[in-house]
Amino acid sequence: MSALEQLKKYTTVVADTGDFEAIAQFKPQDATTNPSLMLQASQKAQYSYLIDNAIEYAKNKSDNLEEQIAWAADKLIVNFGVEILKIIPGRVSTEVNAKLSFNKAATIEKAKRLIALYEEAGISKERVLIKIASTWEGIQAAQELESKYGIHCNLTLLFGFPQAVACAEAKVTLISPFVGRILDWYKKTTGKTYESVEDPGVLSVQRIYNYYKKYDYNTIVMGASFRNAGEIEQLVGVDFLTISPALLTTLQQSTNTLEPKLTVEKAKAMDIPRVSYINDEVAFRWDMNQDSMATEKLSEGIKKFGEDQVKLEKMLADRLTSLEKKMENCSL
């Protein structure tokens, strides 16, 4: 039995890609996407039909170029999600524009619009997770989306323990703590190399998992952003893991024996102090500020996703403008 098959016995495996072929190959339960993955996938010729459809949809929605770009971007990521859901049995995560990370009201409206686009395509909101950055505003938006609208959320770019606690208290469906990016920061800052068993990203997810199980939080912990298979092996037993195609291949080819490192029983037996940020934005921001890694990586992640969103929108703007010129020339 391959390491991947063993892993699936203890942990739900999610594909971290927008590539349909890779998803079909590894047969994950769920799939996650983000602006960076969408940008990569949209540059492949075999997915051009999804872009064409998004462009056509946007042109029918508005005569204003700026509004067309926004509609095309939203429709494109939903188009990818719809295709992914034809392959997987579970849910797909679709990300809210990173530029809205500090705007609660705008995040809520964008999430509702994305869900409306899915429902228009015949997809129930139960099969979609709306991905939102784990800022204070993002967490508050997710709380309202979950409780008021029944829209399930995946809180991403999660690096610090305060983010995890606040997400659990907000009763969000799922969180995505970023293992590899945490390791990156510590390697750069300390100059050290880390074995998987002492990997700071691994330890962060283990801490969150144990805290959630100790206090019976229902929020799913989904480790993300891995740098090597060793990190994954140290998190066997965690609720979910979202894994890139490259590492899924490594696990598929490996025959290492995997055993659960994390269990509810072990977590329940631990002496873990309880923390709370309910209605306490000041305490949340203060504790986040004390964690240089979490603060820097959250900012960096939002910036990177924002940059890739801009690139994606520019590609769509160029297509829209080119199409408009062709139509003008045909009418002459």
pLDDT of residue 83: 93
Give the residue carrying structure tokens 């504790």: 287
pLDDT of residue 33: 84
Q: What is the mean pLDDT of the chain?
A: 95
Which residue, among 129, 140, 78, 71, has the nearest Cα to 105 in the 3D structure?
Answer: 140
> 69: number of CA atoms within 13 Å, CB side?
16
pLDDT in tens, 310-327: 999 999 999 898 877 666
For residue 100, give Cα distances in angstroms to 46, 132, 148: 30, 9, 20
Instruction: Report CA 24 to chain centroid distance, whole Å.
Output: 19
Domains and CATH numbers, the chain: 3-321 (3.20.20.70)
pLDDT of residue 138: 98
| Residue 266 annotated to the active site | no
For residue 162, give Cα distances in angstroms to 139, 158, 290, 304: 11, 9, 10, 22
Q: Report d(CA 174, CA 305) in Å as an integer.
A: 19
User: Given a cut of 60, is residue 179 above it in pLDDT?
Assistant: yes
What integer is the mean pLDDT of 174-203? 97
User: Given a cut of 70, is residue 331 above it in pLDDT?
Assistant: no
Q: At what angle do helices 161-169 and 200-214 cross, to 10 degrees?
A: 30
Q: Report d(CA 223, CA 210) in Å as an integer.
A: 13
Based on C-alpha coordinates, what's the Rg of the chain? 20
What integer is the mean pLDDT of 180-195? 97
Q: Report d(CA 298, CA 291) in Å as an integer.
A: 11
pLDDT of residue 322: 82
Give the tokens for residue 146.
């979950």
What integer is the mean pLDDT of 168-184? 98
**Higher pLDDT residue, 326 or 272?**
272
pLDDT in tens, 38-71: 888 888 889 899 999 999 999 999 999 999 999 9
pLDDT of residue 39: 86
Which secondary structure element, helix H or strand E, spans residue 30, and what is its range? strand 30-32
pLDDT of residue 323: 73
pLDDT in tens, 208-245: 999 999 999 999 999 999 999 999 999 999 999 999 99
Give the tokens for residue 311.
């690139």
What integer is the mean pLDDT of 136-160? 98
- Return the beta strands (E) in 103-250 as ranges: 128-133, 153-158, 174-177, 220-223, 240-243
Least confident span in 27-36, 65-74, 240-249, 256-265? 27-36
Give the residue carrying structure tokens 């700071």: 200
> Which of the residues 8, 110, 125, 131 is marked catalytic?
131
For residue 114, give Cα distances in angstroms to 70, 94, 254, 281: 11, 8, 38, 28
Which secondary structure element, helix H or strand E, spans residue 94, and what is its range? strand 92-95
Look at residue 262 and give its three-state secondary structure: coil
Q: Report d(CA 193, CA 23) in Å as an integer.
A: 32
